Structure 1
Amino acid sequence: MDYDAVTQSPRTKRVAKSVRQIRDAEITQQQILDAAETEFAKHGLHGARLSAIADRAKITTAMIHYYFDNKEGLYKAVLQRPIDEVHSMVNQLELDDLSPEDALKQVIRTAIAYEANNPHRQMLWFQEASQNQGLYFKQANVSILHKYLLSILERGMAEGCFRMLDPFLALTHILSVCIFYFTVQENWKHLTPEVDRLSSEMVEKHTQAAIEFILAAVRKTP
């Protein structure tokens, strides 16, 4: 019998089972990462408990050890995930084909949109700075993200459309304008409870204001 020609042949079943196992493993890992991200954002590496992460993910602690070895390995994976996600998003923008101003607008828009979808992730970096003084931050490949913005700023200065800047300081200021809005949201919502700063309308308003503010700051004046 030609097993490949039969829809439910043993070979087909083995392939289907293998694909399902891979998919199930990916789903389980994402569930663990999502749960761990919430716990680490609240408590940091030292305060988070694997049992709480397992309960939130609806799996056993043994599964965490199976996929990530230990709490430190899981923590590193949680820190690396947003870096990889943003890198993938920005890498698709083809920024070198845009003018420095348009490229900067795209980066601002992407950064704010990402933070709007993940407003709690800045607490991961806060906890890392507070508890570990950046020990694990320096192990994450953050510089892969910085290179995009630094390249835009340097190209803008070379082409004469941006004033002369310290690129890394400018990068710090630009990211602060984009991201602080979300970092402070949990405090400011008590000052103006009638305003939903995470609504699509308010996020778009923030985006437009950030673009105008940043471009006014970096443009070379006549």
Structure 2
Amino acid sequence: MVGRSSKRAAKAVRLVRDAQATQQQILDAAEQEFARNGLKGARMSAIATGAQVTSATLHYYFENKENLYKAVLQRPVNEVQAILVQQNFDALAPEAALKQMIRIAIANEAANPQRQMLWFQEASQNQGAYFKECHVLALHKHLLKVLERGMAEGTFRPLKPFLALTHILSVCLFYFTVHENWKHLTPEVDRLTSEMIEEHTEAAITFILAGIRR
């Protein structure tokens, strides 16, 4: 009896892991397809091919294209939130905390450069109708808190926190939005190498701090 129970438990764990792996494959393929074509232009058949699964499998896990799209948009938010909640920003001086946040933001985009086009497609095609459901403000509250603390302590000059957040994110992330265009202007330069990303990171930190220090 014990042996059979152990086998059943092991099989159940394996099935859960297989299901999770399959869903990740689907989300990876869907993210690429939605980043290229947006919700309206994306094809479920292309996603199934990219994920190496059947269309029936897509519908089994996500039911329809809209649900899959929502899951694709939510995944980056969840991933970054998982990173941010592990940090103890309150233990750092505001400037040090801001530097850490900049590094996290740029490193995450460098690992997933297609995501800027995903957000662009959402803004262009849907005017943010699905974006508003992604609880992005839960991410922004970390940066807003650091900016407000920095102003209260006199480290940062008086700022409108949400406007400053917009400017900071623009400095960090537009680099990846424009990459597909700029690579044609300077084809000899690969701006996604680790060396170039580090150069961008250090330049972004210097630029942002110069703009918000008191």
Pairwise CA distance, 1:183? 0.7
Q: Secondary structure at the match of 1:190?
A: helix
Q: 1:193 — aligned with what?
A: 187
Q: 2:144 — aligned with what?
A: 150
Q: 1:97 — aligned with what?
A: 91
Pairwise CA distance, 1:64? 1.1
Q: 1:159 — aligned with what?
A: 153
Q: 1:56 — aligned with what?
A: 50
Point out the structure with the larger helix share.
Answer: 2
Question: d(CA) in 2 for partners of 1:169 and 1:81?
Answer: 25
CA offsets 1:93-141 (integer angstroms, 9 cap, x no match): 2111100000000000000000000001011110001100100000111
Pairwise CA distance, 1:49? 0.8
CA offsets 1:17-47 (integer angstroms, 9 cap, x no match): 0000000000000000001000000000010
% identical equivalent positions: 69
Q: Where does the alignment leave 5 or more consecutive residues of structure 1 unmatched?
A: none
Q: One-letter code of the match for 1:73?
A: N
TM-score by length of 1: 0.95
Pairwise CA distance, 1:66? 1.1
Aligned pairs for 1:23-172 (under 5 A) are: 23-172=17-166
CA-atom RMSD in angstroms: 0.7
Question: d(CA) in 2 for partners of 1:121 and 1:168?
Answer: 22
Instruction: Indicate yes or no: 2:167 matched with 1:173.
Output: yes
Question: d(CA) in 2 for partners of 1:103 and 1:21?
Answer: 41
Runs of 4+ in 1 over 4 A off after TM superposition: none
Q: Secondary structure at the match of 1:138?
A: helix
Question: d(CA) in 1 for partners of 2:187 and 2:117?
Answer: 22
Q: One-letter code of the match for 1:61?
A: S
CA offsets 1:145-172 (integer angstroms, 9 cap, x no match): 1101100000000011000000000000
Q: Where does the alignment leave 5 or more consecutive residues of structure 2 unmatched?
A: none
